[in-house]
Amino acid sequence: MTFASHTHTHPVLTLLGNQEMEDELMLSGLILETQTGQLVLSIPYPFGDYGYIPSVIQTIARNCDNQLGFICNFGANSLKRIQPLALRRTAGHLEKESTVSVKSVLLHLFTRRNDSGT
């Protein structure tokens, strides 16, 4: 099991200034990391329709150490167009498109490291 940030107070991120967005993301991640002892590397965005997650939000999420960001749009994550900070959480008609598992492409994000960093 892994833990992901979902912001601290669940706001519509596009209604916030950049500093407020960063505060929401950082605080949520820090609380989870402190409580669980696990690194928090991803965020399923609140109100996560792709239209609500412009590139500035993805950049701030990356700056807050998120390596994956999940949107709510249906569809497949195509290997040719994969966007780690705008991944679809749910699949629709998978038979219509060549798809790839996020875990198969970004395995290092799902692999536990030991104390030596390997």
Mean pLDDT, residues 49-67: 90
CA distance 7 to 66: 12
Q: Once rounded to an integer, what is the mean pLDDT over residues 51-57?
A: 88
Q: Which two tokens stand for residue 117?
A: 């960093």
Question: The whole model's pTM is what?
Answer: 0.72
Asked whether the predicted pLDDT for residue 19 surpasses 90, the reply is: yes
Alpha-helix residue ranges (DSSP H) falling in 3-101? 18-36, 55-63
Q: Within its chain, how far is the Cα of 62 from the centroid?
A: 9
Q: Is 13:52 a contact under the CB 8 Å cutoff?
A: yes
State pLDDT tens for residues 64-118: 999 999 888 877 777 777 888 988 876 555 444 444 455 555 655 555 555 555 4
Compute the distance between CA of residue 36 and CA of residue 4 in angstroms, rounded to an integer: 11
* E strand spans, 42-85: 42-44, 68-74
The pLDDT, as a whole number, for residue 98 is 44
